[in-house]
């Protein structure tokens, strides 16, 4: 699957936000105020770097500030809850990795929100591979071999 180059990401985000935002008056032009990108991870993290890059590209296109806010903690759940409970007007947007949202329901006994119903995905900014590596002296040379070794070790794995 081929994705558009980064030159198209900012306009795509603006168009998609306009199409999916509720509560905007028909006569009101978007944006009428600053846009906030909320990131649930520290400054310099992957989602933060992507958010700042896109924010820089969006500013001249929309004529308003695009502010990146880092709301760090609880594996991204602080930001998740903040955005989920914010007014759904298209001015507070959550920039996060899909794995953080997917993991929340499995890693926390009582996650703050149901991410399956709290959010609508509007744009993909990047696709990054996830790698599983072992040391050069490991007996595992494949994922299947690693799985077998870990099963044999049981709770000591």
Q: CATH number, domain at 17?
A: 3.40.190.150
User: Which strand ranges, in their side-by-side order, compose the sheet holding 92-95?
Assistant: 66-70, 35-39, 92-95
Tokens of 65: 């500030």
Strand partners, 38: 69, 94
Residues 93 and 35 sit within 8 Å (Cβ to Cβ): yes
Helices (H) and strands (E) in the chain, counts: 6, 3
Average pLDDT over residues 119-124: 86
pTM check: above 0.85: no
Let me know if residue 38 belongs to a domain. yes
Q: What are phi and psi of 70, to 5 degrees?
A: -95, 115
Residues 70 and 42 sit within 8 Å (Cβ to Cβ): yes
Q: For the chain, what is the mean pLDDT? A: 82
For residue 152, give every residue at least 6 positions away whose Cβ sits within 8 Å of its Cβ, in sequence order, or none: none
Place of tokens 């870990």: 150
Let me know if residue 1 belongs to a domain. no
Strand partners, 83: none
pLDDT digits (tens, 9 = 90+) for 30-66: 899 999 999 999 999 888 999 999 999 999 999 999 9
pLDDT of residue 124: 85
Let me know if residue 156 belongs to a domain. no
Let me know if residue 52 belongs to a domain. yes
Instruction: Give alpha helix (H) positions in the chain.
Output: 9-20, 46-62, 77-84, 98-107, 115-118, 143-153
- How many structural domains is the chain composed of? 1
pLDDT digits (tens, 9 = 90+) for 93-118: 999 876 777 777 778 788 888 888 88
Let me know if residue 154 belongs to a domain. no
Let me know if residue 134 belongs to a domain. no
Let me know if residue 67 belongs to a domain. yes
Let me know if residue 98 belongs to a domain. yes
Range(s) of the domain holding residue 81: 6-129
């Amino acid at each position: 699957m081929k994705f558009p180059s980064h030159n198209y990401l900012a306009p795509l985000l603006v168009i998609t936000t306009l199409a999916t935002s509720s509560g905007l008056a028909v006569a009101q032009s978007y944006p009428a105020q600053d846009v906030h990108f909320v990131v649930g991870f520290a400054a310099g993290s992957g989602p933060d770097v992507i958010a700042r890059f896109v924010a820089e590209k969006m500013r001249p296109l929309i004529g308003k500030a695009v502010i990146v806010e880092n709301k760090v903690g609880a594996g991204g759940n602080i930001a998740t809850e903040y955005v989920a409970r914010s007014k759904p007007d298209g001015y507070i947007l959550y920039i996060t990795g899909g794995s953080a949202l997917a993991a929340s329901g499995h890693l926390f006994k009582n996650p703050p929100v149901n991410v399956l119903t709290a959010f609508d995905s509007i744009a993909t900014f990047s696709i990054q591979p996830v790698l599983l590596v072992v040391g050069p002296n490991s007996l595992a040379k494949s994922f299947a071999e690693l799985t077998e070794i870990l099963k044999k070790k049981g709770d000591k794995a």
